[in-house]
Amino acid sequence: MTEASLAIRQSYPREVKIGDGRRVTLRLMGKSDRDQMVNFARTLPADDLLFLRRDITDPEVIDGWIHNAEIGRSVTVLAESDGELVGYGSLNINAAFWTRHVGEIRVLVSPDYRKLGLGRRLAYEIFAIAKDLGLQKMLARMTPDQKGARATFERLGFRAEALLHDFVLDRDGKTRDLLIMSYDIAGLTDSEQLT
């Protein structure tokens, strides 16, 4: 385990307060979270799941996700309230040598916990982890019609980099465009707090 990985592990779990005063526990995902993650995914609206890169309602997909965390290809911060999973932020590290300085962020929050700053807090956690791991750039991918997600990432400082036409195939077989946004992690200082 690298020094950075050890420092990341030691900083969790911890409790944070979100916009309405509720307390949420942030902790790293592990093997024992498989069923809880599947149950969380299965409670989400269909639109939330439509454009995820993986079908997180499938236990085998979660097994693969956990395996990626074990081998250092991803880090996922879970948000829990009263023992219930209410969101996650995930950092996926590219395996390609030439893009080893780039990570991809994914954040998903339960509808009951949106607009409370939890998504922003999870994003900050992922930025901090990415910086600790020495990454320099962060990517976020979405379809242009995911206006809420785009607005959130723009508020975080992400900028549109590319629009790929007809690049995404939805569950109904309809093609959609793919928007790629990026953020320069090197510009994030330790004193900045995304609250």
Q: Which domains does the chain have, with CATH numbers?
A: 3-140 (3.40.630.30)
Q: CA torsion sign, 115 to 43 to 17 to 62?
A: negative
pTM (two decimals)? 0.85
pLDDT tens for each residue of 71-120 = 889 999 999 999 999 999 999 998 788 888 999 999 999 999 988 999 98
DSSP codes of every residue in 53-97: SS-TTSHHHHHHHHHHHHTTSEEEEEEEETTEEEEEEEEEE--SG
Is residue 195 pLDDT above 60, yes or no? no
Average model confidence (pLDDT) across the chain: 87
Contact between 87 and 110 (Cβ < 8 Å): yes
Report pLDDT for 4.
Answer: 61
Q: How far is CA 118 from CA 5, 21, 130, 149, 168, in A?
A: 23, 11, 18, 13, 28
Contact between 94 and 103 (Cβ < 8 Å): yes
| Tokens encoding 171 | 């569950």
Place of tokens 């723009």: 154
What DSSP character marks residue 113? G
Report pLDDT for 188.
Answer: 54
Q: Which residue has the higher pLDDT, 148 or 176?
A: 176
Residue type, 64: G
Contact between 29 and 13 (Cβ < 8 Å): no
Helix or strand (DSSP H, E) at 120 = helix 118-132
pLDDT tens for each residue of 30-77 = 999 999 999 999 999 877 777 677 889 899 999 999 999 988 899 999
Place of tokens 């900028």: 159
Average pLDDT for residues 2-30, to the nearest whole number?
85
